[in-house]
Every structure is written in structure tokens, then in C-alpha cells.
A and B are shown apart, each in its own frame.
Chain A
Amino acid sequence: MWVLWAVVSTSETAAADRSALDRMAKGDQEGLGEIYDRHGRLVYSLALRILRDQADAEDVVQEVFSQAWTQASRYDATRGSVLGWLLTLARSRAIDRLRGRKTRLEPAPDDNMLGQIPDTGIPADEQLEWAARAAQVRAALEGLTMLQRVAIELAFYEGLTHAEIAERLELPLGTVKTRIRQGLLKLRDRLADSL
């Protein structure tokens, strides 16, 4: 799932990430600090979006960077960007956590979320670049049918399987399968310029 980031991350960032990871592989903590400073916020945001719980999201961030630290030497740059790798780890761990607490009550949505909108501590150009990308993806999602979008989001953010999505939406399995593929193909066409 890392292709996009390989393409859109500036080659400058990608080179810096690879260099930081090389240093991490040799035991240099500065490398880890650098990677965290560059990508910690995105990893945290994705974990928070999936888990909707600040403490759980923080745990996931800690796990992701611990894994990145221990597996830095095994990172394969040809498979994609460092950010893509981190986000894949974050999604996988967040969803494991989400499924683990299925039996517990879902936490209320975080009321502080609006108050936590990024401050200006992030370099403005990175912020703009990210915001522009986010706006494109959101606009593309808005262009899907409700069913396509909800089915894709249930799979991506809730980690539900094919059968679970069908059950949740009270739709036949075949319909869910088709809607998800059609939705992703439409997203691909709409994001064609930025992918």
C-alpha cells in the first residue's frame, strides 16, 4: 500500500527517510527522532481516526516506532516509502486493537478532536502539501456513492471483513464486493493526477 507515498513524497524527504533508517539500523537514536518528528503526527492521526481514543492511539504510535526501530535494517526501500510503511504498520496495529476491544463499549467520539486541529508548529509548506492531498482524497471520497464510500471506510478504518461488511450493511456479499471495487476504481480515476 505504499506506492502513493513513494510517488508523492518529495524525493528529498524520501532520501532523508532512507538515510535516517540506515542510521537507526546502526543503533543511532537520532535517526528515530528524525523519523518521528517527520511522520509521528500522521501515524498518530491515522491511529486516532481508527481507534477514536487518544490513549489507545498513543500506544499504537509507540508500538509502531518500536517496531520501526527494531526492523529498520530489514526495511526494503524498493517496496515503498518509509511513511507508507509506518502507516501500514499503524493501521494494522490499530485495527488489531479495535477488534480486540469489540466486546467492550465503544468510546464516545473524542470531543477534543476539534480542539486538536494542528497548530502552527508544523512547517507551513508540509502542512499545505498535506492539506492539499487530504482535500483531494476527501473530495474524491465525496464523489462516491454513499454505499461505495461507507463500504470502503468500514474495510479500511474499521478493519471489517467482506462478510462483516455485508452483515453490517444488510447487503449480499456480491454487492459489497462489487461496490468496493467500483469505489476504488472511481477513486483511482479521480486521483489519477496525484497518484
Chain B
Amino acid sequence: MASHDAEHERLQESAGLYVLDALEPAERAAFEAHLRSCEECAAEVRSLRSVAAALPAAAPLVDPPAALRARVMAAATGRQSGSRVVAMTPRPAARTSVFSAGWLSAAALLAISVGLGGYSLSLRQRITGLEADLRDAVARLDRSEQQVAVATRSVASAEARMAVLTAPDLRQVNLAGQTIAPRASGRAFLSRASGLMFTASDLPPLPAGRVYQLWIVTAQAPVSAGLLEVDAGGRVAQRFDTPANLQAPVAIAVTDEPAGGVPAPTGEKYLVGATD
């Protein structure tokens, strides 16, 4: 039956996970449905079940504390914990007589070496788990450090803007759109000590190779503050350092200049505002 063969091909590998109860629910349901019609897989599952049932034998053998017996009896039969449970059956008589002292010590040695083997096995497995955890932790730490670096940069930038806005010598200048861009407007917060915060809106897009340049106009000459980074909506929000040795500003202006900017304005004025 072709469809059965295809299903068998696809599902037979699941037998191992199935007997260890490790299949995800949907996979388990599909495999159980297959088992009902596939004698080959059903037989394999039966044989692997007995393998899985043997696995507890690999666990190191440890005696429970003596008090556990009374607790188990009390809990199971509904008696108050700690009260004596009567009618305990003594351990079945040990059939030790057939074993010589040599056999006993051999048994003890075997039990100890077997216990140590299991212990080292469990340590190895634990190490594997811890190594995986460590890799996860390192990856998480790396991501966290990157996030911290990003956050630190944005905090620094926010602090610089705050420094401008809270500077004692802060002056606000409103800029009006000129003939070429009547709807544009801008606002500058200028502190000679802490820098210049500049915002603008409705700046029209410029042709390729042209940029907006910001000027602080003094009685002597206009000094470049820098180039504007205009977003797709024509908006700007930027901080600039105050140019060194700045004379008293009389106006702020934005002009259209060649890419890279120029030392002195050459192009059309888009925004102008006097410092009054």
C-alpha cells in the first residue's frame, strides 16, 4: 500500500522519541495513529519500551533516609505524619547465608564502583547542560551589552540636547520660510556655551547634489553651524556645537548649497530669523 509506505517512511524514526515520551503532542498523535496500522512499528515500540524501562537501572543506587518509610506509610494511609504506623512488615529475611564474606565485599565494591560510574555519568551530563546554558548566557550578555551601548549613546545625545535647552544663556530664534518655501518654518535654541538645537518643518526636498546649510549670522559674517539632515517629511531636529570664537549672533538662516557645504553662503535663503 503506497500511502502506508510513505507514512511509514516518514514516521518510523519517531519510535525512539515516542517510548521516551518526548514527542510533541501533534507528532505523538500522528505516530499513535500510524502504530494502529503498522505492525512493524508496533513491534519496534514494544522492544524499545523494554529498553527504556531498563534505563532507571543506570541511576546510582541511593538508600532513602530511614524516616521516609514512616512518612510514606502515614501519608498513603491517611494517618497523621509522625505517628507510629503499626503492623509494619519486617524486611523479608535476607538470604545472605549463601554468600561468603568475600562475596559480600565484592558486592559492596561493585556497588561502589557502579555508584561512582553513575555519578561521573551524571556529572558529564550536567556539564553538557551547563555548557549549553553558558553559551546562551554569553549570547544574552552580548545582546545586552549592545543594547546598553545603544542606550548610552541615546542618553548622551539627549543629555547634550538638554544641556542646550537648560543653558542659562539660552536664546530662542524663530525662523520664517522665505519666498521659495513659504510654508517652511524653523526654531533655534542657541547657547554660546552649550550649543545650538535646531528644529524645522516643511523644508522642500532639494535636487541631488544640494544640501541645506545652517548659518549663524554675526555682525561680521555668517558662520556655518553645519549641514541639516532633513527627513522624508521635510523635518529636522538636530544639535550643533556652537562655532568657536562666535561673535554676537544677529540672525539664523538656512540656505541651499552644494553637497558638502561651503564656507560662506552662496545659495537661496529658505529660512531666516533675527535674534532681536
**How many Å from the CB of B124 to the closest CB on chain A?**
8
Given contacts A109-B123, A125-B98, A131-B114, contact A162 B61 (CB under 8 A): no
B110 touches A135 (CB 8 A): yes
> Whose C-beta in chain A lies nearest to the C-beta of B74?
A62
B24 within 8 A of A: yes
Provide the bound-state CA to CA distance between A125 and B114, in Å: 16
Provide the bound-state CA to CA distance between A1 and B46, in Å: 8
Given contacts A117-B115, A185-B48, contact A41 B57 (CB under 8 A): no
B61 touches A118 (CB 8 A): yes
Given contacts A33-B88, A150-B128, A156-B52, contact A141 B62 (CB under 8 A): no
Contacts of B56 in A (CB 8 A): 42, 45-46, 49, 87, 91
Query: Which of B53, B73, B87, B110 counts the most A-chain CB atoms under 10 A from its CB?
Result: B53
Query: Which of A57, A65, A91, A117 counts the most B-chain CB atoms under 10 A from its CB?
Result: A117
Given contacts A45-B61, A177-B14, contact A109 B48 (CB under 8 A): no
Contacts of B47 in A (CB 8 A): 188, 195
Contacts of A42 in B (CB 8 A): 56, 61
A58 touches B110 (CB 8 A): no
> Whose C-beta in chain A lies nearest to the C-beta of B25?
A161
A45 touches B128 (CB 8 A): no
B162 within 8 A of A: no
B24 touches A161 (CB 8 A): yes
Contacts of B115 in A (CB 8 A): 113-114, 117-118
B16 touches A180 (CB 8 A): yes
Contacts of B36 in A (CB 8 A): none
Stretch at the interface among B63-71, B217-225, B253-261: B63-71
A15 within 8 A of B: no
Given contacts A29-B87, A30-B87, A120-B104, contact A58 B71 (CB under 8 A): yes
> Whose C-beta in chain A lies nearest to the C-beta of B112?
A117
A135 touches B16 (CB 8 A): no
B245 within 8 A of A: no
- Of the candidates A1, A130, A152, the one whose C-beta lies within 8 Å of that of B61 is A130
A36 touches B54 (CB 8 A): no
Provide the bound-state CA to CA distance between A21 and B72, in Å: 16
- Of the candidates A45, A68, A136, the one whose C-beta lies within 8 Å of that of B62 is A45
> 1/0 contact trace for A54-85 toward B, CB 8 Å?
10011001100110111000000000100010
Given contacts A163-B24, A183-B16, contact A117 B58 (CB under 8 A): no
Provide the bound-state CA to CA distance between A158 and B132, in Å: 14
A134 touches B52 (CB 8 A): no
> 1/0 contact trace for A5-29 toward B, CB 8 Å?
1010000000010000000000001
B24 touches A181 (CB 8 A): no
Chain A contact residue count (CB 8 A cutoff): 95
**How many Å from the CB of B243 to the closest CB on chain A?**
55
B118 within 8 A of A: yes
- CB interface residues, B 38-96, toward A, < 8 Å: 46-65, 68-69, 71-73, 75-77, 85, 87-89, 91-92, 94-96
Provide the bound-state CA to CA distance between A36 and B88, in Å: 10
Provide the bound-state CA to CA distance between A141 and B65, in Å: 29
**How many Å from the CB of A76 to the closest CB on chain B?**
16
Given contacts A130-B57, A181-B16, A184-B52, contact A65 B72 (CB under 8 A): yes
A–B pairs, 23, beta carbons within 8 Å: A29-B85, A33-B87, A37-B92, A40-B72, A45-B61, A58-B64, A61-B68, A80-B53, A84-B53, A113-B119, A116-B63, A124-B99, A124-B104, A131-B61, A131-B107, A131-B111, A134-B118, A162-B23, A162-B24, A180-B16, A181-B15, A184-B20, A191-B51
Q: A5-B53, A153-B125 are in contact. List 18 more A-B contacts (CB 8 A).
A: A30-B87, A32-B77, A40-B64, A44-B63, A49-B56, A49-B60, A69-B76, A113-B60, A118-B115, A119-B63, A134-B118, A137-B54, A138-B121, A177-B14, A178-B13, A184-B19, A184-B51, A188-B51
Q: Which 7 A/B pairs are nearest by Cβ-Cβ distance?
A: A181-B16, A49-B59, A123-B94, A180-B16, A69-B76, A44-B64, A3-B50
Task: Identify the A interface with B (CB < 8 A).
Answer: 1-5, 7, 16, 29-30, 32-34, 36-38, 40-42, 44-46, 48-49, 52, 54, 57-58, 61-62, 65-66, 68-70, 80, 84, 87, 91, 109, 113-114, 116-125, 127-128, 130-138, 141, 150, 152-163, 165, 168-170, 174, 176-178, 180-185, 187-188, 191, 194-195
